[in-house]
Structure 1
Amino acid sequence: MARLRLRGSKAGPQGTGPFDATFAFPSGVVMAVGANLRGKTTLLEAIALCLRGEPRELQRDVAAWLSDVECDVEINGRPTGFRVAMRDGAVAGGAILEADDLASLIPGSSGSRSVLTAGSAEEYARAVDAFMLDRLSLEPLLAAIKTGGVQTHRWASYFGALYLPAGRDSALIGETVMAGLAGRLLTVFLDLPGAALLTRVKAARDAARNRTKEDAAAQAAAAVARNARREQLEALDRARAGLDHLSRRLPARSASAAAADVTALAGRLADAEADWAGASALCRQARAARQHDERALNDYRESAVAWALFHGLDPAACPRCEAPVAAERKAREAESHACAVCAQPIAADDNVEAAREAEDELAAAVEASSRAEAAALEALERAQAEAAELSERLAEAEAELRQAREAAEVDERTSLELAVARAEGALAVLPKDDLAPVDPADAVLAALVKELEDDLVEASRELFDELGEEIAVLARSFGMESVTEIRINRSAALKVAKGGTEAGGFSAQSPGERLRLRIATVLALLRVGHRRGIATHPGLLMLDSLKAEEVQDSDAAALLDALVGAAADTPGLQVLTTSADQSLPLGRLPQDAVIAPTGHDEPLW
């Protein structure tokens, strides 16, 4: 990676207006630093957009700011330029250029030539895919799918081994866990003899087996359909025999008619029981009303008697303080009709008449409520009688239905026995449905897979031992001091030992440890491959946020120091990373290897 240029117009709280920023990337470790949300990750995502052929995790709002992205790199020593045109946040087209030197790729210079051009996002993705596979001498990765076909994983899958995912991701290498892609990337980058051929043969074998399974499933489904048709014919025979038998053996009324009666009576009974419950509630209410009116009449009568009794009294003294009632007060009582004791008015004869009328009204209310109670009780008795009658009729109808069904079941068993006998005779002459024959190509492919795997195991045993040792050395240098041993196989499955004790595989480690192990694995690939002269990894490693995933300050410093040392020991290795800690690269990286904002809290571009 040599140069990146971003052009466009920025909108939002971080600033508005056009921008045109160019970044140079020297060899070794390069770190972009700055506060969060200031464009560090965008640098990596812009590089990924150019080199991958399609965006990976480029934010939509940032993509909408971009109008042009230029990226210049060296691929196998050949200067190559990637040009992407952006419109409304999407790739609108692009081109791939080549030149004799990197300076000739800079706009305005001469000497560059166009290799591929594209007028859409799809065309650009296809152009980058074909170009990168060709320039890096890589082949598509094939994986069989359950439907019997073969799924092809191309350059975008390889790119996952350059731009490493976050620590929490479960893939050791690349972005995809399924289809064994991690192991296939590992064997390809180690350039194991026969690895690419083994991948193609395995995919062909698995696809053939899946097709065989699909054919067998299709034939089985057809057999099921034929069996179902035979069963329908047999059921028709049984039905005809049953109808003929039922016409002679069933009672006068059919089970369906009896069932209809049961349904109707059950509905009427439910309505009658609801009426019964309503009448019962009304009866209780009428009884309560009558009792209330009787109590009111009795209370009134008792009050009248008490009034008459006390009105006839001639007290000689106050009942409270026993003070004598003076004669003049008794005289005033006769004149003013005010009580000689309490001075309250004493009812005259017309009040007595009103009292009689009130008593008559209360007596009339008692008579009316008594009639209402009698009517409610009569309605309750009628509803109860109707419900009882319907309940009895429903029981009779249910008994009739049971009899009709029992008679029908007897006839049905007879007809089924006759139908089974006929079916057995018919099935005896029908050919059996055989499953799909075994594909003879499967045996050939399986034998070839075994032969290639045996050769690969023999050729890779020592290599993978060395690779595991190198990963362990790097992991310890990255801060995992407790790691004593790491083993890795061709499926990219790691076994980690800490303090001499098994600590599980890659997915069993913490997110921070996964990040370290993922970096260590890719670096080990490069270092072992370089020592043996077999590496095919492009040599570019991109890591976003070096202090993410629980990586503390001291660990991040150790990790950066180890990356610097690994880059110095591994010719052609370039590491691009980011950090929000602007002090992290100080004293560890040269000034030209640090991409920093021009001012405090300023964006990088």
Structure 2
Amino acid sequence: MSAKVMPDAKGRQVWIAAISKKSGYSEELVASVLEKHGIRPKVTAAVPQRLMVTSLSFTGKKLGATPPSDIDFGPKPMGPGLWAVTSQRNFRGKTSILNIIRWCLTGRQYIADVMTSWFTAVTLRFTLDDREFEVRLSNASEGTGELLKHARGNEFQLASFSNHVEFEAAMSDFFMEELGLQKIENHIEKDGKGIDQPHGWVWLFTAMWVEPRPSALFGVQMPGAMSARMMQMYLGFPWVNTTNEIKAAQSRFRVKAAQSHLVSSGIRATTEGRIASLAAQRADLQAKFADVSPNTARLKLAEASQRFVNADADLRAFVAKKQVAEDDFESAKMAYAEARRSSQAAKESAAAGYVFRAIRPVCCPSCDEVITEEAAESHLRDHTCVVCKTPDRKGDDEEDTERTLLLAENEAKEQLDAQTTRVRLITSQINEARLARAKASEQCATAEAEIADMTTVEENTVRIQILDAQIAELRNLNQAETEAEDGDSKVLAAAEVITKEMYEVEQGRVLKRVSDLTKEYAVTFGIENLQSVSIDGGVRMKLIKNGQPTFFSKCTDGEKARLKVAATLAMLKVSEDEGVGRHPGLLLIDSPGDNAMVSVDYENLVSGISTLSEELKTVQIILSAVSGPVILSHVPKARRIEAVGDDYLW
């Protein structure tokens, strides 16, 4: 396209400056409003990519049959150009194959609920330009599978999913990112609340689906300007995504502003009523307390509060001291126990020595020599060992050790008694502090009650003055909010105008080309006496037939189907010629003859699509139809997936 695309930074600054000039607000305010509403400039034109189904296969068991029969379809290789899914009788699975393709590409199940459990594995291979991908469902009824990329002879997992919700999310994330698409939001009010309704890949895919009786020129019929925003996105104009964000922000803002107005109105009414009520209360209080002198309750409250604070501080300090004292008590307790054990052990050792020394051996323990009577009497007389003559009395060292250990035991006992007394004292102080704090708390409550019961005239005057100030502040806030809302509204309106101007001229030029090609293709498809077609930015199609103006919505179902195919192919042709656009170039046409289209028009449609598909070599068109001379003559056998006679396609 010939539209000029500025670098992002420069384009953003020019854009904000133009909005500032249009709205009359500063560039700083404009930038902050746009940031607040999540609006960002997107100035780059889209480069078209082509989506093409290259293979489809699926297995399972057809449970509706008697007896149940196995399903083993494909793999069916496919490529660019026109392809036909045909059978010689109706209800042989033609539309189901298109719906399975749609299911794999969107993640949303379109086959009948009764058939959901029939499918076990489903595999769809597709390409985006020269890159190859695969959707592989291992348990189709549960939505379990993975999205793969094939490159350099390897498989790379892009996503895995274990249910239908995850499957749909994975396909949406993939295609929205790869094709540079953006969810289009429609903001509505429901049950008094503003709700964002984002429409993503599942809805955008409807631009690739042509039903027998179309309700809209692109996609499906949607409220507001949703279809127009879809068309603009697929045309790939710079700034279109930004326009979508602005429109979504305006919609949200309108709902929020309406709700805010209701709230503000209620607040204002409540405030005015409150002012009147408080004025009456003030008069009553002035009359009631005219002779009342200022009371001393505040002083009492301050003093009681201070006592409470002091008692609370004492309590916390005593609790901390008690913890330390209890630790010291435990240490003293363990020291005393250890001293007692040591002293007792010394005493027991000495006693054991006496016992052993009192023993009268009858022979030497070394040589078994019998001890004489004289040696035994010497032992008793001299208090020496009968064998080695060592004195058997306790020495001075042993006595000193016993005295030292006894002294340590006594000191440990004294220390334990001291720590016990200390813990008891601190415990008593804690109890006293708690009582003091409780008493101060009661005094605070009493003083507060006195204040509540003895409100003075001065205090009530202050109260009323404070309330008057609050009311004045609320009124100022209401006024400021109204001004802010007006500012946001004007900035968004200016942003919409300026942004549209960025691509409106280019849009008009491109839509003129699309309109002219649509007319040319529609005539090829058998719509006779068609003098002109005009598609505007709102996706409104105006036609001149037999010299009379009419519109897409007034046409027959057969004409609508042909016009929808013609317009989509025209868009793809312009996209291919100018290298700009987001439509991926896949078109699924379901049973174009099922709308009372006469046979000659049906043949014109199929032959025209066949001719155009040779011209649009990167576009893939898959249609379902009852097999007949028209299909057989215009779609080569190699490009047909067909069932013969009473056979089913799968």
TM-score bracket for this pair, using the shorter chain length: 0.5 to 0.7
Match 2:260 to one of 187, 212, 215 = 215
Q: Using a 3 Å threshold, how does the CA distance of structure 1 residues 474 and 87 change in structure 2: closer, same or farther?
A: closer
Specify every segment of 5 or more residues in structure 1 that has no aligned partner in the other structure, as ranges: 101-108, 234-430
**C-alpha distance in 2, partners of 1:153/1:524?**
25
The corresponding residue for 1:117 is 160
**C-alpha distance in 2, partners of 1:226/1:593?**
76
Structure 2 counterparts to residues 566-585 of structure 1, below 5 A: 566-585=612-631
Aligned residues of 2:561 and 2:592 also touching (Cα < 8 A): no
**C-alpha distance in 2, partners of 1:586/1:578?**
13
Aligned residues of 1:148 and 1:209 also touching (Cα < 8 A): no
**C-alpha distance in 2, partners of 1:462/1:496?**
18
Task: Verify: 1:518 aligned to 2:564, yes or no.
Answer: yes
**C-alpha distance in 2, partners of 1:533/1:120?**
38
Count the aligned residue pairs: 394
Structure 2 counterparts to residues 42-121 of structure 1, below 5 A: 42-56=96-110, 58-86=111-139, 88=141, 94-100=145-151, 111-121=154-164
**C-alpha distance in 2, partners of 1:473/1:549?**
22
Amino acid of the residue matched to residue 591 of structure 2? S
The corresponding residue for 1:16 is 68
Aligned residues of 1:158 and 1:174 also touching (Cα < 8 A): yes
**C-alpha distance in 1, partners of 2:275/2:557?**
60
Aligned residues of 1:188 and 1:195 also touching (Cα < 8 A): yes
Amino acid of the residue matched to residue 257 of structure 2? T
The corresponding residue for 2:541 is 494
The DSSP-based 3-state class of the residue aligned with 1:549 is: coil
The DSSP-based 3-state class of the residue aligned with 2:125 is: strand
Task: Verify: 1:539 aligned to 2:585, yes or no.
Answer: yes
The corresponding residue for 1:481 is 528
The corresponding residue for 2:81 is 28
**C-alpha distance in 1, partners of 2:274/2:156?**
69
The corresponding residue for 1:421 is none
Query: Mean Cα displacement is larger for which, 144-153 or 4-13?
Result: 144-153
The corresponding residue for 1:145 is 188
Q: Using a 3 Å threshold, how does the CA distance of structure 1 residues 490 and 599 change in structure 2: closer, same or farther?
A: same
The corresponding residue for 2:466 is none
**C-alpha distance in 2, partners of 1:47/1:596?**
16
Aligned residues of 1:485 and 1:500 also touching (Cα < 8 A): no
- C-alpha deviation, 1:529, in angstroms: 1.3
**C-alpha distance in 2, partners of 1:227/1:87?**
64
The corresponding residue for 1:438 is 485
- C-alpha deviation, 1:538, in angstroms: 0.7
Aligned residues of 2:86 and 2:626 also touching (Cα < 8 A): yes
For residues 186-243 of structure 1, give each alpha carbon's deviation from its aligned partner in whole angstroms, at most 9, with x where no partner exists: 111111121111111222233223211121123334556779999999xxxxxxxxxx
The corresponding residue for 2:599 is 553
**C-alpha distance in 1, partners of 2:642/2:613?**
21
Match 1:468 to one of 503, 515, 518 = 515
Higher relative contact order (CA 8 A, sep 6+): 2
**C-alpha distance in 1, partners of 2:494/2:213?**
39
The DSSP-based 3-state class of the residue aligned with 1:586 is: helix
Amino acid of the residue matched to residue 442 of structure 1? S
Q: Using a 3 Å threshold, how does the CA distance of structure 1 residues 14 and 463 change in structure 2: closer, same or farther?
A: farther
- C-alpha deviation, 1:463, in angstroms: 1.2
Aligned residues of 2:142 and 2:163 also touching (Cα < 8 A): no
The DSSP-based 3-state class of the residue aligned with 1:186 is: helix
TM-score normalised by the chain length of structure 2 = 0.57
- C-alpha deviation, 1:501, in angstroms: 1.4
The DSSP-based 3-state class of the residue aligned with 2:154 is: coil
Specify every segment of 5 or more residues in structure 2 that has no aligned partner in the other structure, as ranges: 1-52, 279-477
Aligned residues of 2:80 and 2:617 also touching (Cα < 8 A): no
Q: CA RMSD in A?
A: 2.7
- C-alpha deviation, 1:437, in angstroms: 6.0
Amino acid of the residue matched to residue 98 of structure 1? K
**C-alpha distance in 2, partners of 1:587/1:168?**
25
Task: Verify: 1:3 aligned to 2:55, yes or no.
Answer: yes
Q: Using a 3 Å threshold, how does the CA distance of structure 1 residues 227 and 517 change in structure 2: closer, same or farther?
A: farther
The corresponding residue for 2:610 is 564
Aligned residues of 1:61 and 1:89 also touching (Cα < 8 A): no
**C-alpha distance in 1, partners of 2:182/2:601?**
38
Amino acid of the residue matched to residue 54 of structure 1? R
- C-alpha deviation, 1:482, in angstroms: 1.9
Aligned residues of 1:144 and 1:151 also touching (Cα < 8 A): yes
The corresponding residue for 1:192 is 237
Aligned residues of 2:575 and 2:581 also touching (Cα < 8 A): yes
The DSSP-based 3-state class of the residue aligned with 2:207 is: coil
- C-alpha deviation, 1:455, in angstroms: 2.2
Identity percentage of aligned residues: 23
Task: Verify: 1:201 aligned to 2:246, yes or no.
Answer: yes
Q: Using a 3 Å threshold, how does the CA distance of structure 1 residues 60 and 232 change in structure 2: closer, same or farther?
A: farther
**C-alpha distance in 2, partners of 1:438/1:495?**
38
For residues 560-605 of structure 1, give each alpha carbon's deviation from its aligned partner in whole angstroms, at most 9, with x where no partner exists: 11111111111311100011233331121111111111554x1011
**C-alpha distance in 2, partners of 1:231/1:76?**
73
Aligned residues of 1:157 and 1:176 also touching (Cα < 8 A): no
The corresponding residue for 1:134 is 177
Query: Mean Cα displacement is larger for which, 514-523 or 139-148?
Result: 139-148
Q: Using a 3 Å threshold, how does the CA distance of structure 1 residues 563 and 148 change in structure 2: closer, same or farther?
A: same
